[in-house]
Amino acid sequence: MTEIEWTIYLSGEIHTDWREQIISACEAKDLPVNFIGPVTVHEDSDDCGAVILGEEDNPFWRDQKGARMNAIRTRTLMESADLVVVRFGEKYKQWNAAFDAGYAAALNTPYITLHDPALTHALKEVDGAALATAQDPLQVAKIIEYVTTGRLQRR
Amino acid sequence: MTEIEWTIYLSGEIHTDWREQIISACEAKDLPVNFIGPVTVHEDSDDCGAVILGEEDNPFWRDQKGARMNAIRTRTLMESADLVVVRFGEKYKQWNAAFDAGYAAALNTPYITLHDPALTHALKEVDGAALATAQDPLQVAKIIEYVTTGRLQRR
Amino acid sequence: MTEIEWTIYLSGEIHTDWREQIISACEAKDLPVNFIGPVTVHEDSDDCGAVILGEEDNPFWRDQKGARMNAIRTRTLMESADLVVVRFGEKYKQWNAAFDAGYAAALNTPYITLHDPALTHALKEVDGAALATAQDPLQVAKIIEYVTTGRLQRR
Amino acid sequence: MTEIEWTIYLSGEIHTDWREQIISACEAKDLPVNFIGPVTVHEDSDDCGAVILGEEDNPFWRDQKGARMNAIRTRTLMESADLVVVRFGEKYKQWNAAFDAGYAAALNTPYITLHDPALTHALKEVDGAALATAQDPLQVAKIIEYVTTGRLQRR
Amino acid sequence: MTEIEWTIYLSGEIHTDWREQIISACEAKDLPVNFIGPVTVHEDSDDCGAVILGEEDNPFWRDQKGARMNAIRTRTLMESADLVVVRFGEKYKQWNAAFDAGYAAALNTPYITLHDPALTHALKEVDGAALATAQDPLQVAKIIEYVTTGRLQRR
Amino acid sequence: MTEIEWTIYLSGEIHTDWREQIISACEAKDLPVNFIGPVTVHEDSDDCGAVILGEEDNPFWRDQKGARMNAIRTRTLMESADLVVVRFGEKYKQWNAAFDAGYAAALNTPYITLHDPALTHALKEVDGAALATAQDPLQVAKIIEYVTTGRLQRR
Amino acid sequence: MTEIEWTIYLSGEIHTDWREQIISACEAKDLPVNFIGPVTVHEDSDDCGAVILGEEDNPFWRDQKGARMNAIRTRTLMESADLVVVRFGEKYKQWNAAFDAGYAAALNTPYITLHDPALTHALKEVDGAALATAQDPLQVAKIIEYVTTGRLQRR
Amino acid sequence: MTEIEWTIYLSGEIHTDWREQIISACEAKDLPVNFIGPVTVHEDSDDCGAVILGEEDNPFWRDQKGARMNAIRTRTLMESADLVVVRFGEKYKQWNAAFDAGYAAALNTPYITLHDPALTHALKEVDGAALATAQDPLQVAKIIEYVTTGRLQRR
């Protein structure tokens, strides 16, 4: 059997190192995966529109400029992903993470949610359309290992 | 010109009467619209899975049962909608509202967001893919009037 | 809110009266639904190709003639369905029921499975892509009531 | 003329060596093909959800966890396949094989069935949507040779 | 069960009365069907472009004008059809009939071919993607009866 | 044969009465058509965003507000159209008309262009993807008559 | 600007060397193209089903076996093509060529027809949906040169 | 994170060097991008149809021949693009640029507009569906840098 290269989009929280944990665990396992995702420098992601195309007085339009510029990246990469991991953290509203989950669901692209059990009830619709719900990045890495290579690490 | 009948899905917050305000304003204007939406009785939407298919000890699976049963309704109705209105209220995480916005965006179905300006920055990605952002249900009713009939109420 | 008319495809077992039970329960509840499904007269469904287009000596081709003629009906109706119910009974292999579930899954059309718990393990992939799994036709009727009208019958 | 690389998904029975027979026959012919498929270690495919995400008391949810994790792999690979081969063996219900056939049919992806003639009548709907029905893995290898290279082995 | 209204496109030969035979047989059976099709007045279908938009000296462009005007009708109606019947007669090349069959195949819309057995070998690719092949309009009417109502006329 | 009801979107120029000419000619012929289109009151179409959602200082954002509100109507109606007529007049840039033509082309929806021959070279890409090019609204009405009813008015 | 690699499907007549003429002309021009197409050995394409899967007495089913096996190749390759060239020769009905043109049209894949002007009227619907109609393989090679590299050979 | 290779289509004006400015700025930044676009030699793009397939007396058909031949290139490349940049210059009607924007919008492919602020009002529908509007090619290069690599050049 041939091992296919998977493209995995890491969506959501940008204030903890969950992406790095997944990526380094997968590298240690030498998995056939490419990781992609949004720009994760918070201030760049906020300011990009105003910095490149000019400042705005009105915060609504400033945010539109930035959000739509980020959408060029996120939509294109989301549409090229074989699998999406959506992380919800402790802080912030993180509506963009839920937005990405809905986007993946409508495209029929499989996604995994990653969050603390305390968020279970609030995230029930988002988890309901997920193919797996994990609590810890290393579980996600094991899922990725299993689905891409068929290797199940039993302990 | 023929007036087409529009089907409009009202997504999001279920604890205030914003749906009724939009619907009664549109009825007063006699607009060619049908309104559809999720089940808005909070406890029914939480309990439906367990009530119909049997209780669950584990809250995660109880929520899965409910959320997936609700998804039968919400996905089917969302896919039949010509326009989606997504309301974000003061309380709760409302990740399902953002999920619905992402779903609509991926289907290329137009949507309008409705929320307090205080939420502007947190909702920037969701607003960025919307075709309009309103602060008050009566603005939404005026938008619906305009897009379905071409009548612009200038005051 | 407007009540939308739903079209529901009843797939699978043709040797018990589960379809009638669902239909009459839904009629008693006066639900906004149309039920559609395959031809359920076993011998007609076997013989249709040979009867209309001529007998075949080779049983493989006789079955092809019949199966493909039935597919004219089943695919067209499946594609027009808002919801599919897939029933697995005690007898026969019922591969066509699993085929229909896979067809619905690929179309992203919600489906409900209906079967005895004894079949749970054998049907795990089919249940895994379902939005609900019921054991009894009356549960299915309650789900249909809930998703089409929002009424939850709590007892 | 250029020879295109084909990706072929081998679905179904996991208890005999039919996959190896097809793969080694195609390798002997040096065909431009990549073979992909589900995880074929039965116990891993059953246990993956519980092993990675935690055990479940309820067998239904244990199966859901596993089946949905496997679906991350199977759906993604199925959607990338140019051709699907679906094998039905002597034992087990093999509803997942029929599910995959229905999934391929809805995607309009060509598939070949492989089974004993004794199963012909029971599989008539599944065969009816197939582009070929073989009884033996070497026939499948010859079909793959012919459709990928145009070489017809006449004896 | 509800009887759905079917829309059936009658493609191909315009020099015999096969359409009328099918339509009157279906009317006699009172079937839930609407029949649609191309313009069947040969000279109008040839001349429409030149008559409405002006004559052309060059026969190639005269034909383009007509063919593209006819395509407004045929594509729109083909895309709205649940089932297509494609008739090949004795005379003319009838490439447009084969074109319509290919169009239906790519849309995954079921079609039936109707032709004399003498044409079997020449039409093998077109028949190969059909769900039934009939030799006589009354067989087609019986197939339509069966797939739309489930009634099988055994004699 | 059944006469299908057609939905026809009239896109482009809003400063002459070409829409009325087509509509009244089709009414006189009693054709089975519904006409839909953008809001044609120029100032309302410019001001709608600012009037309903609040004025903007920056003309770019004022235009965005209006254009995106109009897009709710135009995209929804365009996607429901069976046929689009795109009119280019003498004045203004009319980039929105060309935008609509591109939108229809990508949806594979047939469209007719309507313009003076003086614009032929400038519109060659837009005409190249059209199924007919007319110079006068009455020609368009005749095309609509022919494609919807099959009646060819030869003089 | 980057030169993209194009995949071009050569459909239709298999009794003259038109494919070789196009391929060698394009090789001489060193164009960034891959050519793909059906199996062009007439007897293999007729016999493949019977040779690999067993002989059939009934010529209809023998042709079905062959035609459907060929369809595994032709559909998969057609769907991967950026451009299709459809050749109609002097002999035979060539309904499969017209079928392929219809298939490409429904996929919105551009195609070029290649035939003698004597066939213009009979092929008007097929030419009407083509983006170019050539009479000679060298014209096709020049079109391919122009569309893939932008080089126009003016003499 | 992996850097994905982006394919960017540069549509519109062909009389200034805006393409070269974007391309050389991106090369200087060493970005992971491929640029594609229409044939930009004006006379070749006008004459290609007539030169390769034969002259036409009627300018309308001459333009059709050319425009449709160019469409082989432009549609294929547009459909392969991850991002489209649409440039409107000072001169000419440039309806093809607006056509391309509509085409991209219907495909849900992100696009950026590039034009002088003087054109803002006339282009409001086209800008309304864009994800960014720039005035200068170097801004476009910065957007491309940001969305492909995440690097924001703050000055």
Answering whether pTM is above 0.90, one says yes
**First and final C-alpha spacing in chain E:** 25
The per-residue pLDDT for G153 is 87
Task: State the burial class of residue H41 (Cβ atoms within 10 Å of its Cβ: 0-12, 13-18, 19+).
Answer: middle
Task: Give the residue among G147, G120, F121 at the shortest CA–CA distance from H94.
Answer: F121
Residues 6+ apart with CB under 8 A from E152: C39, C41, C44, C47, C48, C51, C52, E146
Percentage with pLDDT > 70 across chain H: 100
User: Quick check: D127 and D113 in contact, CB under 8 A?
Assistant: yes
Q: Does B72 sit within 8 Å of C83, measured CB to CB?
A: yes
Q: Does F4 sit within 8 Å of E52, measured CB to CB?
A: no
Q: What is the 3-state secondary structure (H, E, C) of chain F?
A: CCCCCEEEEEEECCCCCHHHHHHHHHHHHCCCEEEECCCCCHHHHHHHHHHHHCCCCCHHHHHHHHHHHHHHHHHHHHHHCCEEEEECCCCCCCHHHHHHHHHHHHHCCCEEEECCHHHCCCCHHHHHCCCEEECCHHHHHHHHHHHHHCCCCCC
Question: Does chain C reach chain D with at least 3 CB pairs under 8 Å?
Answer: yes
* Neighboring chain D residues of C38 at a CB cutoff of 8 Å: none
Question: Does chain D reach chain H with at least 3 CB pairs under 8 Å?
Answer: no
Q: Token match 């066509």: residue?
A: C96
Determine the Cα–Cα distance for residues E118 and E133; give it in Å rounded to an integer: 13
Determine the Cα–Cα distance for residues G97 and E123; give it in Å rounded to an integer: 11
Is the pLDDT at H77 greater than 90? The verdict is yes
* Neighboring chain E residues of G107 at a CB cutoff of 8 Å: 106
User: Nearest-CA distance from D58 to chain B in Å?
Assistant: 9
Tokens of C88: 């697995």
Q: What is the 3-state secondary structure (H, E, C) of chain B?
A: CCCCCEEEEEEECCCCCHHHHHHHHHHHHCCCEEEECCCCCHHHHHHHHHHHHCCCCCHHHHHHHHHHHHHHHHHHHHHHCCEEEEECCCCCCCHHHHHHHHHHHHHCCCEEEECCHHHCCCCHHHHHCCCEEECCHHHHHHHHHHHHHCCCCCC
* Neighboring chain A residues of F61 at a CB cutoff of 8 Å: 58, 61
Q: Mind listing the pLDDT tens digit for each residue in E102-126?
A: 999 999 999 999 999 999 999 999 9
The model's confidence at residue B1, banded by pLDDT at 50, 70 and 90, is confident
Neighbours of chain B (3+ CB pairs under 8 A): A, C, D, F
User: Nearest-CA distance from F57 to chain A in Å?
Assistant: 10
* Neighboring chain A residues of H154 at a CB cutoff of 8 Å: 47, 51
Determine the Cα–Cα distance for residues D39 and D61; give it in Å rounded to an integer: 20
* Neighboring chain B residues of C143 at a CB cutoff of 8 Å: 52-53, 69, 72
Q: Does E150 sit within 8 Å of C40, measured CB to CB?
A: yes
Q: Does F37 sit within 8 Å of B1, measured CB to CB?
A: yes
**First and final C-alpha spacing in chain A:** 25
- Angle at which helix F18-29 crosses helix F137-149, to 10 degrees, equals 40
Residue of A nearest to H133 (CA): A53
The per-residue pLDDT for F92 is 75
Determine the Cα–Cα distance for residues G40 and G63; give it in Å rounded to an integer: 16
| Average pLDDT of the segment spanning F85-106 | 94
Q: Does G100 sit within 8 Å of E103, measured CB to CB?
A: no
The model's confidence at residue B145, banded by pLDDT at 50, 70 and 90, is very high
User: Nearest-CA distance from H81 to chain E in Å?
Assistant: 24
- In degrees, rounded to 5, the angle at the alpha carbon of residue F14 between the alpha carbons of residues F11 and F16 is 115
Tokens of C153: 């019958």
Question: Does chain F reach chain D with at least 3 CB pairs under 8 Å?
Answer: no
What's the mean pLDDT when you consider all of chain G?
Answer: 96
| Average pLDDT of the segment spanning G45-67 | 97
Residue of H nearest to G143 (CA): H52
Give the number of residues written for chain E: 155
User: Nearest-CA distance from D98 to chain G in Å?
Assistant: 19
Report the DSSP beta bridge partners of residue H6.
H33
Q: What stretches in chain E show pLDDT beneath 70?
A: none
DSSP 8-state class, residue H117: G
The model's confidence at residue H93, banded by pLDDT at 50, 70 and 90, is confident
How distant is the alpha carbon of residue B8 from its chain centre? 8
The model's confidence at residue F30, banded by pLDDT at 50, 70 and 90, is very high
CATH number given to A6-39+78-149: 3.40.50.450
Is the pLDDT at C1 greater than 90? The verdict is no
Determine the Cα–Cα distance for residues B76 and D103; give it in Å rounded to an integer: 20
Determine the Cα–Cα distance for residues G154 and B139; give it in Å rounded to an integer: 60
The per-residue pLDDT for D139 is 98
| Average pLDDT of the segment spanning F82-96 | 92
The per-residue pLDDT for A55 is 97
The per-residue pLDDT for F102 is 98
Q: Does B67 sit within 8 Å of A124, measured CB to CB?
A: yes
Is the pLDDT at B92 greater than 90? The verdict is no
* Neighboring chain A residues of H127 at a CB cutoff of 8 Å: none
The per-residue pLDDT for F20 is 98
Q: Does B37 sit within 8 Å of C132, measured CB to CB?
A: no
Q: Which run of H or E residues covers position H62?
A: helix H59-80
Interchain CB contacts (distance < 8 Å): B and C: 73
User: Quick check: G11 and G129 in contact, CB under 8 A?
Assistant: no
Sign of the torsion formed by the C-alpha atoms of H139, H141, H144 and H149: negative
The per-residue pLDDT for A132 is 98
Is the pLDDT at H155 greater than 80? The verdict is no
Task: Give the residue among A126, A127, A103, F34 at the shortest CA–CA distance from B111.
Answer: A103
| Average pLDDT of the segment spanning D103-126 | 97
Q: Mind listing the pLDDT tens digit for each residue in B29-77?
A: 999 999 999 999 999 999 999 999 999 999 999 999 999 999 999 999 9
The model's confidence at residue H99, banded by pLDDT at 50, 70 and 90, is very high
User: Quick check: H77 and F76 in contact, CB under 8 A?
Assistant: no
CA distances to E39, E52, E54, E55, G29 from E62, in Å: 17, 11, 9, 7, 35
Q: Token match 């007045």: residue?
A: E41
The per-residue pLDDT for F90 is 83
Is the pLDDT at D119 greater than 80? The verdict is yes
What is the largest distance, in Å, between two alpha-carbon atoms of chain G?
Answer: 58
* Neighboring chain D residues of B56 at a CB cutoff of 8 Å: 58
Determine the Cα–Cα distance for residues C74 and E133; give it in Å rounded to an integer: 18
| Average pLDDT of the segment spanning D64-93 | 95
* Neighboring chain B residues of C115 at a CB cutoff of 8 Å: none
The per-residue pLDDT for C123 is 97
Counting Cα atoms < 13 Å in the Cβ hemisphere of A132 gives: 34
The per-residue pLDDT for H89 is 93
Q: Does E134 sit within 8 Å of C53, measured CB to CB?
A: yes
| Average pLDDT of the segment spanning H7-18 | 96
User: Nearest-CA distance from E47 to chain H in Å?
Assistant: 18
Determine the Cα–Cα distance for residues E109 and E81; give it in Å rounded to an integer: 8
The model's confidence at residue D91, banded by pLDDT at 50, 70 and 90, is confident
Q: Which run of H or E residues covers position A122?
A: none
Q: Considering only residues C154 and D127, tell me which one the structure prediction assigns the higher pLDDT.
A: D127
Percentage with pLDDT > 70 across chain D: 100
Task: Give the residue among D137, D145, D142, D141 at the shortest CA–CA distance from D155.
Answer: D142
Determine the Cα–Cα distance for residues C139 and C25; give it in Å rounded to an integer: 10
- The structural domains of chain D, with segments of one domain joined by +, span 6-39+78-149
Residue of B nearest to C154 (CA): B51
User: Nearest-CA distance from E99 to chain H in Å?
Assistant: 20
| Average pLDDT of the segment spanning G122-130 | 97
Determine the Cα–Cα distance for residues H84 and D123; give it in Å rounded to an integer: 48
Residue of B nearest to A95 (CA): B98
The per-residue pLDDT for E91 is 80
User: Nearest-CA distance from A67 to chain H in Å?
Assistant: 9
User: Nearest-CA distance from C2 to chain D in Å?
Assistant: 31
Task: Give the residue among B122, A54, E66, D5 at the shortest CA–CA distance from H134.
Answer: A54
- In degrees, rounded to 5, the angle at the alpha carbon of residue D148 between the alpha carbons of residues D143 and D154 is 45
What's the mean pLDDT when you consider all of chain F?
Answer: 96
Question: Does chain F reach chain E with at least 3 CB pairs under 8 Å?
Answer: yes
Task: Give the residue among F82, F79, F85 at the shortest CA–CA distance from F133.
Answer: F85
**Which of F127, F138, F152 is best to mutate for the E interface (most E CBs within 10 A)?**
F152
**Which of A61, A62, A63, A68 is best to mutate for the F interface (most F CBs within 10 A)?**
A61
ipTM over 0.85: yes
Name the residue facing G132 among H44, H68, H77 (closest C-beta). H68
User: Nearest-CA distance from E30 to chain G in Å?
Assistant: 32
Residues 6+ apart with CB under 8 A from G118: none
What's the mean pLDDT when you consider all of chain D?
Answer: 96
Q: Mind listing the pLDDT tens digit for each residue in F45-78?
A: 999 999 999 999 999 999 999 999 999 999 999 9
User: Nearest-CA distance from E2 to chain G in Å?
Assistant: 31
User: Quick check: A70 and A48 in contact, CB under 8 A?
Assistant: yes
What values do phi and psi take at D138, rounded to 5?
A: -70, -30
Determine the Cα–Cα distance for residues E18 and B118; give it in Å rounded to an integer: 68
Residue of G nearest to E67 (CA): G125
Strand pairing category for B6-12 and B33-36 = parallel
Q: What is the 3-state secondary structure (H, E, C) of chain E?
A: CCCCCEEEEEEECCCCCHHHHHHHHHHHCCCCEEEECCCCCHHHHHHHHHHHHCCCCCHHHHHHHHHHHHHHHHHHHHHHCCEEEEECCCCCCCHHHHHHHHHHHHHCCCEEEECCHHHCCCCHHHHHCCCEEECCHHHHHHHHHHHHHCCCCCC
* Neighboring chain H residues of E61 at a CB cutoff of 8 Å: 58, 61
What values do phi and psi take at G130, rounded to 5?
A: -80, 155
Q: Does G4 sit within 8 Å of H77, measured CB to CB?
A: yes
* Neighboring chain E residues of C39 at a CB cutoff of 8 Å: 146, 150, 152
Q: What stretches in chain A show pLDDT beneath 70?
A: none
Q: What is the CA radius of gyration of chain D?
A: 16
* Neighboring chain A residues of D52 at a CB cutoff of 8 Å: 134, 139, 142-143, 146, 152-153
The per-residue pLDDT for D152 is 97
* Neighboring chain D residues of C95 at a CB cutoff of 8 Å: 88, 94-95, 97-98, 122-123, 125-126
Determine the Cα–Cα distance for residues A75 and A129; give it in Å rounded to an integer: 19
Q: Does F125 sit within 8 Å of H67, measured CB to CB?
A: yes
3-class state of residue C134 by DSSP: strand
Tokens of F145: 């008559």
Tokens of H142: 């910065």
Residue of B nearest to C150 (CA): B39
Interchain CB contacts (distance < 8 Å): A and D: 73
User: Nearest-CA distance from G82 to chain D in Å?
Assistant: 14
